Structure 1
Amino acid sequence: MLARGFHDPVHDAQGVFRAVMDALARPGTIQALATDLAPPGPLTPELAGIALALADADAPLWLDAGLARDPAVADFLRFHTGARITEDPSEAAFALVSDPAACPDFGVFAQGMPAYPDRSATLVLAVSDLSDREGWRLDGPGIRGSARLTAAPLPADSLARLARNHAGFPQGVDLILAAAGRLAALPRSTRVTGG
Protein backbone atom coordinates (compact mmCIF):
# COMPACT_ATOMS: atom_id res chain seq x y z
CA MET A 1 0.00 0.00 0.00
CA LEU A 2 1.34 3.42 -0.98
CA ALA A 3 2.24 5.72 1.95
CA ARG A 4 0.13 8.85 2.09
CA GLY A 5 1.49 12.28 1.17
CA PHE A 6 0.87 15.56 2.94
CA HIS A 7 -2.22 15.60 5.15
CA ASP A 8 -3.08 19.10 3.87
CA PRO A 9 -1.28 19.21 0.50
CA VAL A 10 -1.56 22.95 -0.13
CA HIS A 11 -0.68 24.28 3.33
CA ASP A 12 1.89 21.59 4.14
CA ALA A 13 3.70 22.14 0.84
CA GLN A 14 3.63 25.91 1.39
CA GLY A 15 5.18 25.48 4.84
CA VAL A 16 8.02 23.34 3.51
CA PHE A 17 8.54 25.65 0.53
CA ARG A 18 8.78 28.67 2.85
CA ALA A 19 11.35 26.92 5.07
CA VAL A 20 13.48 26.01 2.04
CA MET A 21 13.27 29.54 0.58
CA ASP A 22 14.16 31.11 3.95
CA ALA A 23 17.15 28.75 4.29
CA LEU A 24 18.38 29.62 0.78
CA ALA A 25 17.90 33.35 1.38
CA ARG A 26 19.76 33.22 4.71
CA PRO A 27 22.54 30.63 4.28
CA GLY A 28 23.62 28.92 7.46
CA THR A 29 20.43 29.62 9.38
CA ILE A 30 18.53 26.59 10.58
CA GLN A 31 14.85 26.53 9.69
CA ALA A 32 12.20 24.38 11.34
CA LEU A 33 10.78 21.72 9.06
CA ALA A 34 7.61 20.17 10.38
CA THR A 35 6.20 17.19 8.53
CA ASP A 36 4.08 14.23 9.56
CA LEU A 37 5.03 12.13 6.53
CA ALA A 38 5.89 8.45 6.93
CA PRO A 39 7.50 7.60 3.56
CA PRO A 40 9.08 4.25 2.73
CA GLY A 41 12.62 4.00 4.18
CA PRO A 42 15.33 5.00 3.72
CA LEU A 43 13.52 8.11 2.44
CA THR A 44 13.36 10.38 5.50
CA PRO A 45 10.26 12.48 6.23
CA GLU A 46 12.39 15.58 5.58
CA LEU A 47 13.65 14.42 2.17
CA ALA A 48 10.12 13.38 1.28
CA GLY A 49 8.62 16.70 2.39
CA ILE A 50 11.12 18.73 0.39
CA ALA A 51 10.55 16.56 -2.68
CA LEU A 52 6.76 16.83 -2.38
CA ALA A 53 7.00 20.62 -2.04
CA LEU A 54 9.48 21.24 -4.87
CA ALA A 55 9.38 18.46 -7.48
CA ASP A 56 6.81 18.17 -10.24
CA ALA A 57 6.42 16.84 -13.76
CA ASP A 58 8.94 19.41 -15.05
CA ALA A 59 11.53 18.77 -12.32
CA PRO A 60 13.09 15.29 -12.59
CA LEU A 61 14.42 13.61 -9.46
CA TRP A 62 17.66 11.64 -9.06
CA LEU A 63 17.89 9.14 -6.19
CA ASP A 64 21.12 7.91 -4.63
CA ALA A 65 21.80 4.17 -4.49
CA GLY A 66 20.15 3.69 -1.10
CA LEU A 67 16.92 5.32 -2.24
CA ALA A 68 16.93 3.79 -5.73
CA ARG A 69 17.31 0.29 -4.28
CA ASP A 70 13.71 0.22 -3.00
CA PRO A 71 11.06 0.58 -5.74
CA ALA A 72 8.58 1.81 -3.11
CA VAL A 73 10.57 5.05 -2.79
CA ALA A 74 10.32 5.85 -6.50
CA ASP A 75 6.64 4.83 -6.54
CA PHE A 76 5.91 7.15 -3.59
CA LEU A 77 7.71 10.09 -5.20
CA ARG A 78 6.22 9.58 -8.66
CA PHE A 79 2.71 9.27 -7.29
CA HIS A 80 2.85 12.32 -5.00
CA THR A 81 4.90 14.67 -7.22
CA GLY A 82 4.37 13.55 -10.82
CA ALA A 83 8.14 13.86 -11.24
CA ARG A 84 10.13 11.58 -13.50
CA ILE A 85 12.88 9.60 -11.79
CA THR A 86 16.12 9.80 -13.74
CA GLU A 87 19.23 7.65 -13.42
CA ASP A 88 21.35 10.43 -14.97
CA PRO A 89 22.33 13.01 -12.34
CA SER A 90 23.00 15.62 -15.03
CA GLU A 91 19.27 15.56 -15.95
CA ALA A 92 17.95 16.06 -12.42
CA ALA A 93 16.45 19.26 -11.09
CA PHE A 94 16.62 17.75 -7.59
CA ALA A 95 18.86 15.03 -6.21
CA LEU A 96 17.81 13.19 -3.05
CA VAL A 97 20.76 11.78 -1.12
CA SER A 98 20.16 9.46 1.83
CA ASP A 99 23.88 8.72 2.31
CA PRO A 100 25.65 12.08 2.01
CA ALA A 101 29.09 10.66 2.77
CA ALA A 102 28.83 8.71 -0.50
CA CYS A 103 27.35 11.58 -2.56
CA PRO A 104 28.85 11.71 -6.07
CA ASP A 105 31.01 14.69 -6.93
CA PHE A 106 28.87 17.81 -7.27
CA GLY A 107 30.21 18.31 -10.80
CA VAL A 108 28.22 15.33 -12.15
CA PHE A 109 24.95 17.16 -11.46
CA ALA A 110 23.42 19.82 -13.71
CA GLN A 111 25.43 23.03 -13.32
CA GLY A 112 23.22 25.31 -15.37
CA MET A 113 24.48 27.29 -18.36
CA PRO A 114 25.91 30.82 -18.49
CA ALA A 115 22.67 32.15 -19.98
CA TYR A 116 20.49 29.90 -17.76
CA PRO A 117 22.22 29.31 -14.41
CA ASP A 118 18.84 28.43 -12.89
CA ARG A 119 18.88 25.15 -14.84
CA SER A 120 21.15 23.60 -12.24
CA ALA A 121 20.42 20.91 -9.68
CA THR A 122 19.54 21.29 -6.04
CA LEU A 123 21.01 18.53 -3.90
CA VAL A 124 18.99 17.55 -0.83
CA LEU A 125 21.17 15.67 1.65
CA ALA A 126 19.82 13.79 4.68
CA VAL A 127 22.18 14.59 7.55
CA SER A 128 21.96 13.45 11.15
CA ASP A 129 23.80 16.39 12.73
CA LEU A 130 23.15 20.04 11.89
CA SER A 131 24.27 23.05 13.94
CA ASP A 132 24.82 26.76 13.37
CA ARG A 133 26.92 27.25 16.52
CA GLU A 134 30.23 26.01 15.12
CA GLY A 135 31.90 24.60 12.04
CA TRP A 136 32.57 26.14 8.66
CA ARG A 137 32.59 29.89 8.17
CA LEU A 138 30.02 31.13 5.64
CA ASP A 139 30.21 34.46 3.83
CA GLY A 140 28.18 35.92 1.00
CA PRO A 141 24.74 37.20 0.02
CA GLY A 142 22.10 36.86 2.73
CA ILE A 143 24.66 36.67 5.54
CA ARG A 144 25.32 39.63 7.81
CA GLY A 145 29.02 39.46 8.63
CA SER A 146 29.55 35.72 8.64
CA ALA A 147 27.75 32.60 9.83
CA ARG A 148 28.75 29.16 11.07
CA LEU A 149 27.43 25.78 10.03
CA THR A 150 28.34 22.18 10.65
CA ALA A 151 26.64 19.08 9.30
CA ALA A 152 27.40 15.38 9.30
CA PRO A 153 27.81 13.02 7.66
CA LEU A 154 29.20 14.64 4.51
CA PRO A 155 31.82 13.61 1.93
CA ALA A 156 35.38 13.83 3.26
CA ASP A 157 36.26 16.40 0.57
CA SER A 158 33.18 18.58 1.14
CA LEU A 159 35.11 21.79 1.73
CA ALA A 160 37.03 21.41 -1.57
CA ARG A 161 33.79 20.53 -3.40
CA LEU A 162 32.06 23.61 -2.00
CA ALA A 163 35.01 25.83 -2.98
CA ARG A 164 34.90 24.52 -6.58
CA ASN A 165 31.13 24.94 -6.65
CA HIS A 166 31.35 28.56 -5.46
CA ALA A 167 34.15 29.33 -7.94
CA GLY A 168 31.79 28.46 -10.81
CA PHE A 169 29.13 30.97 -9.71
CA PRO A 170 26.62 31.83 -11.16
CA GLN A 171 26.64 28.22 -12.31
CA GLY A 172 26.83 25.37 -9.80
CA VAL A 173 24.54 23.42 -7.50
CA ASP A 174 22.68 24.49 -4.38
CA LEU A 175 22.64 22.27 -1.30
CA ILE A 176 19.86 21.71 1.21
CA LEU A 177 20.92 19.88 4.37
CA ALA A 178 17.93 18.18 5.99
CA ALA A 179 18.08 16.78 9.51
CA ALA A 180 15.23 15.61 11.76
CA GLY A 181 12.77 18.50 11.96
CA ARG A 182 15.10 21.14 10.52
CA LEU A 183 17.09 22.22 7.48
CA ALA A 184 19.77 24.63 6.34
CA ALA A 185 21.04 25.58 2.89
CA LEU A 186 24.31 26.31 1.14
CA PRO A 187 23.55 28.10 -2.12
CA ARG A 188 26.31 28.32 -4.71
CA SER A 189 26.72 32.03 -3.94
CA THR A 190 27.99 31.22 -0.43
CA ARG A 191 31.73 31.07 0.22
CA VAL A 192 32.51 28.27 2.67
CA THR A 193 35.86 28.10 4.46
CA GLY A 194 37.24 25.95 7.26
CA GLY A 195 36.47 26.77 10.87
Structure 2
Amino acid sequence: MPDSSTLERSRPMHSGSDLLRFWQPVMQQALFRSLLTAFSYPGQSVWLADADSAVAILATLVDAETTLSDPYQLLSDLTRTRLNAPLTDPERAGYVIARGDLDPGFSPRLGTLESPEAGATVVVIVDSLVDGEGEGQCWRLSGPGIEQSRKISVGGLDASWLSARNEWCSGFPLGVDLILTDQHRCLALPRTTVIDDTGAN
Protein backbone atom coordinates (compact mmCIF):
# COMPACT_ATOMS: atom_id res chain seq x y z
CA MET A 1 0.00 0.00 0.00
CA PRO A 2 1.22 3.58 -0.63
CA ASP A 3 2.60 5.53 2.30
CA SER A 4 0.48 8.31 3.77
CA SER A 5 2.57 11.17 2.37
CA THR A 6 2.26 9.87 -1.20
CA LEU A 7 -1.45 9.30 -0.82
CA GLU A 8 -1.99 12.79 0.53
CA ARG A 9 -0.21 14.25 -2.49
CA SER A 10 -2.74 12.56 -4.76
CA ARG A 11 -5.86 13.77 -2.94
CA PRO A 12 -7.91 16.68 -4.33
CA MET A 13 -6.69 20.05 -3.10
CA HIS A 14 -10.11 21.60 -2.56
CA SER A 15 -12.90 20.79 -0.17
CA GLY A 16 -16.09 19.08 -1.30
CA SER A 17 -18.05 22.34 -1.20
CA ASP A 18 -15.59 23.93 -3.65
CA LEU A 19 -16.26 21.17 -6.18
CA LEU A 20 -20.01 21.81 -6.42
CA ARG A 21 -19.36 23.99 -9.48
CA PHE A 22 -18.69 20.83 -11.51
CA TRP A 23 -22.34 19.86 -11.16
CA GLN A 24 -23.69 23.17 -12.46
CA PRO A 25 -25.36 22.74 -15.90
CA VAL A 26 -23.34 25.43 -17.69
CA MET A 27 -20.08 23.99 -16.33
CA GLN A 28 -21.05 20.44 -17.25
CA GLN A 29 -21.88 21.49 -20.80
CA ALA A 30 -18.46 23.14 -21.15
CA LEU A 31 -16.70 20.11 -19.64
CA PHE A 32 -18.55 17.74 -21.96
CA ARG A 33 -17.50 19.76 -25.00
CA SER A 34 -13.89 19.68 -23.80
CA LEU A 35 -14.01 15.90 -23.35
CA LEU A 36 -15.49 15.51 -26.83
CA THR A 37 -12.56 17.50 -28.20
CA ALA A 38 -10.10 15.33 -26.28
CA PHE A 39 -11.58 12.12 -27.69
CA SER A 40 -11.81 13.58 -31.21
CA TYR A 41 -8.10 14.45 -31.16
CA PRO A 42 -6.34 11.73 -29.12
CA GLY A 43 -3.27 12.91 -27.28
CA GLN A 44 -4.17 16.60 -27.57
CA SER A 45 -4.45 18.05 -24.09
CA VAL A 46 -7.45 20.25 -23.32
CA TRP A 47 -8.09 22.62 -20.44
CA LEU A 48 -10.76 21.51 -17.97
CA ALA A 49 -10.57 23.41 -14.69
CA ASP A 50 -8.39 25.51 -12.42
CA ALA A 51 -7.96 22.44 -10.16
CA ASP A 52 -9.33 18.95 -9.50
CA SER A 53 -9.84 18.05 -13.14
CA ALA A 54 -10.28 14.35 -12.31
CA VAL A 55 -13.39 15.21 -10.31
CA ALA A 56 -14.57 17.42 -13.18
CA ILE A 57 -14.29 14.46 -15.57
CA LEU A 58 -16.23 12.12 -13.30
CA ALA A 59 -18.90 14.74 -12.57
CA THR A 60 -19.48 14.98 -16.32
CA LEU A 61 -19.48 11.28 -17.19
CA VAL A 62 -20.65 9.40 -14.10
CA ASP A 63 -24.16 9.14 -12.68
CA ALA A 64 -26.54 6.65 -11.09
CA GLU A 65 -26.75 4.65 -14.33
CA THR A 66 -23.00 3.89 -14.33
CA THR A 67 -20.64 2.06 -11.98
CA LEU A 68 -17.50 3.50 -10.42
CA SER A 69 -14.39 2.13 -8.75
CA ASP A 70 -12.11 4.22 -6.54
CA PRO A 71 -9.53 1.64 -5.39
CA TYR A 72 -7.17 4.20 -3.84
CA GLN A 73 -9.85 6.26 -2.09
CA LEU A 74 -9.00 9.38 -4.09
CA LEU A 75 -12.48 10.87 -3.85
CA SER A 76 -14.04 12.44 -0.78
CA ASP A 77 -17.21 10.96 0.66
CA LEU A 78 -19.13 14.06 -0.45
CA THR A 79 -17.90 13.70 -4.04
CA ARG A 80 -18.89 10.03 -4.11
CA THR A 81 -22.34 11.00 -2.87
CA ARG A 82 -22.73 13.66 -5.56
CA LEU A 83 -21.64 11.27 -8.29
CA ASN A 84 -24.40 8.93 -7.12
CA ALA A 85 -22.82 5.97 -8.92
CA PRO A 86 -22.83 2.46 -7.44
CA LEU A 87 -19.33 1.58 -6.24
CA THR A 88 -17.72 -1.70 -7.24
CA ASP A 89 -14.31 -3.24 -7.80
CA PRO A 90 -12.09 -2.15 -10.74
CA GLU A 91 -12.70 -5.37 -12.63
CA ARG A 92 -16.44 -4.71 -12.92
CA ALA A 93 -16.73 -0.92 -13.00
CA GLY A 94 -17.65 1.17 -16.02
CA TYR A 95 -15.40 3.94 -14.72
CA VAL A 96 -12.22 3.63 -12.67
CA ILE A 97 -10.21 6.45 -11.11
CA ALA A 98 -6.58 5.49 -10.54
CA ARG A 99 -3.16 6.83 -9.62
CA GLY A 100 -0.67 7.06 -12.44
CA ASP A 101 2.39 6.81 -10.20
CA LEU A 102 1.51 3.22 -9.24
CA ASP A 103 1.32 0.00 -11.24
CA PRO A 104 -2.36 -0.36 -12.21
CA GLY A 105 -2.58 -3.71 -10.42
CA PHE A 106 -6.06 -4.53 -11.78
CA SER A 107 -7.72 -5.80 -14.95
CA PRO A 108 -10.52 -3.46 -16.01
CA ARG A 109 -13.65 -4.45 -17.86
CA LEU A 110 -12.88 -4.89 -21.57
CA GLY A 111 -16.39 -5.34 -22.96
CA THR A 112 -17.50 -8.23 -25.17
CA LEU A 113 -17.68 -8.82 -28.90
CA GLU A 114 -21.44 -8.27 -28.67
CA SER A 115 -21.02 -5.10 -26.57
CA PRO A 116 -17.50 -3.68 -26.97
CA GLU A 117 -18.76 -0.33 -25.72
CA ALA A 118 -19.02 -1.94 -22.27
CA GLY A 119 -15.26 -1.64 -21.86
CA ALA A 120 -14.22 0.61 -18.99
CA THR A 121 -13.06 4.21 -19.07
CA VAL A 122 -10.04 4.60 -16.77
CA VAL A 123 -9.27 8.09 -15.46
CA VAL A 124 -5.59 8.23 -14.49
CA ILE A 125 -4.24 11.07 -12.34
CA VAL A 126 -0.72 12.14 -13.34
CA ASP A 127 1.59 15.02 -12.47
CA SER A 128 1.91 16.70 -15.85
CA LEU A 129 0.92 16.51 -19.52
CA VAL A 130 3.10 17.94 -22.28
CA ASP A 131 2.33 18.12 -25.99
CA GLY A 132 5.66 17.00 -27.46
CA GLU A 133 8.83 15.96 -25.71
CA GLY A 134 9.24 16.70 -22.01
CA GLU A 135 9.77 15.10 -18.63
CA GLY A 136 8.36 11.67 -17.86
CA GLN A 137 7.13 8.92 -20.15
CA CYS A 138 7.42 9.92 -23.81
CA TRP A 139 5.04 8.29 -26.30
CA ARG A 140 4.37 8.50 -30.02
CA LEU A 141 0.68 8.22 -30.92
CA SER A 142 -0.97 7.29 -34.19
CA GLY A 143 -4.40 6.20 -35.33
CA PRO A 144 -7.83 7.74 -35.94
CA GLY A 145 -8.02 11.46 -35.13
CA ILE A 146 -4.24 11.91 -35.41
CA GLU A 147 -2.62 13.33 -38.52
CA GLN A 148 0.43 11.11 -39.11
CA SER A 149 1.64 10.97 -35.48
CA ARG A 150 1.75 12.97 -32.26
CA LYS A 151 4.26 12.96 -29.40
CA ILE A 152 3.28 13.45 -25.78
CA SER A 153 5.11 13.34 -22.46
CA VAL A 154 3.45 12.34 -19.21
CA GLY A 155 5.01 13.09 -15.82
CA GLY A 156 4.18 10.99 -12.78
CA LEU A 157 3.15 7.91 -14.73
CA ASP A 158 4.53 4.48 -13.89
CA ALA A 159 6.06 2.80 -16.95
CA SER A 160 3.87 -0.28 -16.42
CA TRP A 161 0.77 1.63 -17.56
CA LEU A 162 1.78 1.46 -21.22
CA SER A 163 2.23 -2.30 -21.33
CA ALA A 164 -0.97 -2.80 -19.32
CA ARG A 165 -2.99 -0.52 -21.59
CA ASN A 166 -1.66 -2.12 -24.76
CA GLU A 167 -2.48 -5.57 -23.42
CA TRP A 168 -6.03 -4.47 -22.50
CA CYS A 169 -6.55 -3.11 -26.03
CA SER A 170 -4.85 -5.97 -27.90
CA GLY A 171 -8.16 -7.68 -28.75
CA PHE A 172 -9.81 -4.75 -30.54
CA PRO A 173 -12.71 -3.91 -30.56
CA LEU A 174 -12.43 -4.98 -26.92
CA GLY A 175 -10.44 -2.72 -24.63
CA VAL A 176 -10.50 0.37 -22.48
CA ASP A 177 -10.37 4.11 -23.04
CA LEU A 178 -7.86 6.05 -20.95
CA ILE A 179 -8.18 9.65 -19.83
CA LEU A 180 -4.95 11.05 -18.39
CA THR A 181 -5.38 14.14 -16.27
CA ASP A 182 -3.28 16.47 -14.16
CA GLN A 183 -4.81 19.15 -11.97
CA HIS A 184 -5.94 21.29 -14.90
CA ARG A 185 -6.02 19.43 -18.22
CA CYS A 186 -6.70 16.04 -19.72
CA LEU A 187 -5.97 14.04 -22.82
CA ALA A 188 -7.80 11.01 -24.13
CA LEU A 189 -6.33 7.76 -25.40
CA PRO A 190 -9.14 5.73 -26.99
CA ARG A 191 -8.62 2.02 -27.58
CA THR A 192 -8.11 2.80 -31.30
CA THR A 193 -4.94 4.82 -30.57
CA VAL A 194 -1.61 3.10 -31.21
CA ILE A 195 0.99 4.01 -28.59
CA ASP A 196 4.73 3.49 -29.06
CA ASP A 197 7.19 4.13 -26.25
CA THR A 198 9.98 6.52 -27.23
CA GLY A 199 11.67 6.36 -23.81
CA ALA A 200 11.60 8.32 -20.57
CA ASN A 201 13.31 11.68 -20.09
Within 1, Cα distance between the matches of 2:112 and 2:186?
27
SS at match of 2:53: helix
Within 2, Cα distance between the matches of 1:136 and 1:18?
25
Within 1, Cα distance between the matches of 2:186 and 2:22?
21
Within 1, Cα distance between the matches of 2:167 and 2:155?
20
The aligned counterpart of 1:165 is: 168
SS at match of 1:14: helix
Alignment of 1:136-155 (within 5 A): 136-155=139-158
Where does structure 2 lack aligned partners over 5 or more consecutive residues?
1-14
SS at match of 2:153: strand
Cα separation, partners in 2 of 1:81 and 1:159, compared to 1, 3 Å: closer
The aligned counterpart of 1:102 is: 102
Alignment of 1:1-195 (within 5 A): 3=17, 4-6=19-21, 9-35=24-50, 45-67=52-74, 73-78=76-81, 80-86=82-88, 88-97=89-98, 99-105=99-105, 108-134=107-133, 135-195=138-198
Instruction: Give the TM-score, by structure 1 length.
Output: 0.83
Cα separation, partners in 2 of 1:7 and 1:151, compared to 1, 3 Å: closer
Please tell me whether the aligned partners of residues 103 and 160 of structure 2 are also in contact (alpha carbons under 8 angstroms): no
Within 1, Cα distance between the matches of 2:121 and 2:27?
20
Within 2, Cα distance between the matches of 1:7 and 1:165?
30
Within 2, Cα distance between the matches of 1:7 and 1:66?
19
Superimposed CA distance per residue, residues 50-92 of structure 1 (whole angstroms, 9 cap, x where no aligned partner): 1111100011111132427xxxx133222x2221122x11221
Cα separation, partners in 2 of 1:9 and 1:103, compared to 1, 3 Å: farther
Specify which structure has the higher proportion of strand: 1
Cα separation, partners in 2 of 1:82 and 1:183, compared to 1, 3 Å: same
Within 2, Cα distance between the matches of 1:155 and 1:7?
28
The one-letter code of the counterpart of 1:82 is N
Identity %: 31
**Over aligned residue pairs, what C-alpha RMSD do you find?**
2.0
Within 2, Cα distance between the matches of 1:128 and 1:151?
7
Equivalenced residues, count: 179
Instruction: Give the TM-score, by structure 2 length.
Output: 0.81
Where does structure 1 lack aligned partners over 5 or more consecutive residues?
37-44
Q: How far has the Cα of 1:14 moved from its partner?
A: 1.3
Within 2, Cα distance between the matches of 1:8 and 1:153?
28
